[in-house]
Amino acid sequence: MYAQISNFILQSKTTNLKSSKFPKEYLDLDVKFSFGMGTPAKISWVSIHNNDIRNTKGINCVYLYYKEENILVLAYGIMEAFVGGDTWSNEVSDNNPTIAEYFETNSIKKPYRYGDSYVFKSYQPKVENGSLSFINHKNGNTISGEQFDKDLNQLVEYYGKIINIEIKNEDSSYSQGLFYMESQLEDFIINNWKNTELGKKYDLIYENGDLISKQYKTHIGIIDILAKDKKNRNHVVIELKRNQTSDDTFGQLTRYMGWIKRHLKDDNVKGIIIAGKYDKKLDYALEYAPFDTEVFIYNVSFTLNEFKKG
């Protein structure tokens, strides 16, 4: 990320507000570069985040470039709408100053915005002979590109732990939002089966006139949806990627497929994962999956689009 942030700083010194050339992802997280809306902002920023966590908990890993002060802060970011709420842990607030506190301690005028975010690292960009370097704002030492990226990765790693805590905490706004979305999605798929891509290839299963596909019970758990292939009549295990990691979802799918193979005597059982977003971990898991597996992506209008690997 060192090279991208260097370019970000150089562009922040111009009136160019375009960000299309910058990356959209970093280590499986979403990335957004902003130089202002309509006119150059006093503080340009780069947010590295999980969209769901950013929208429900209001936290991100963020570079904030205070142009007038020429200070780049790598921060435990707090979106302004979430200030005062349940954001970062006490571990962060107890051990790191807010940007406002940091500026005051270093005799810098009050930050124009984002003063409630917590400082993780601070740098002073230095342009010399057309090239840019970063100076440690605390001790004046030049930061190598390797160290610069190491700083970011350390913050991202901590952010990842927060995400996992939110995923596992059923009472969090993030998990509750996912639970509501997933329960609605499951009902939508069943009620609109014939109009989805799934309904074109697979049939729901009925027994004595009753639908048994939804929440199909096994002695190792409940399959979200169990269907059958229209052509060969093999079973199809369909799992929603719920408030859990990609690894957990993939493991759960394979366990249910193993159960179908053993107990329903179906050697050609197929697996489908339905997720709000396709991530690299799923991609790698499916690369060498020893069975037939598909992934469908849903959007907020609950349409289903099959993911096609390039």
What domains can you pick out in the chain, each with its CATH number? 2-168 (3.30.920.90), 173-306 (3.40.1350.10)
Q: What stretches of the chain adopt beta strand conformation (E)?
A: 25-26, 29-34, 43-49, 59-66, 71-78, 118-128, 131-136, 142-143, 202-204, 206-207, 210-211, 214-218, 221-229, 235-240, 270-275, 293-298, 304-306
> Which pTM was predicted?
0.59
Q: Is 72 exposed, middle or buried (0-12, 13-18, 19+ CB in 10 A)?
A: buried
Structure-model confidence comparison of residues 175 and 36, the more confident one: 36
The pLDDT assigned to 164 comes to 67
Q: Provide mean pLDDT across the span 96-100.
A: 95
Band (pLDDT 50/70/90 cuts) for residue 162 is confident
Q: 180 pLDDT exceeds 50?
A: no
User: What pLDDT digit, counting tens, does each position of 181-228 carry?
Assistant: 455 677 778 888 888 888 889 999 998 888 899 889 998 988 999 999
Mean pLDDT of the chain: 83
What CA–CA distance (Å, rounded) separates 12 from 154?
25
pLDDT for position 86? 78
Residue 170 has pLDDT above 50, yes or no: no
Share of the chain above pLDDT 90, in %: 45
34 in helix, strand or coil?
strand
Single out the residue of 127, 128, 134 nearest to residue 151, CA to CA: 134
Q: Look up residue 161 and give its two tokens.
A: 């732990």
> What per-residue confidence (pLDDT) applies to 192?
85
112 contacts 42 by C-beta, under 8 angstroms: yes
Lowest-confidence pick of 25-34, 91-100, 117-126, 287-296: 287-296
Contact 127, 113 (CB under 8 A): no
Mean predicted confidence (pLDDT) in 13-22:
93
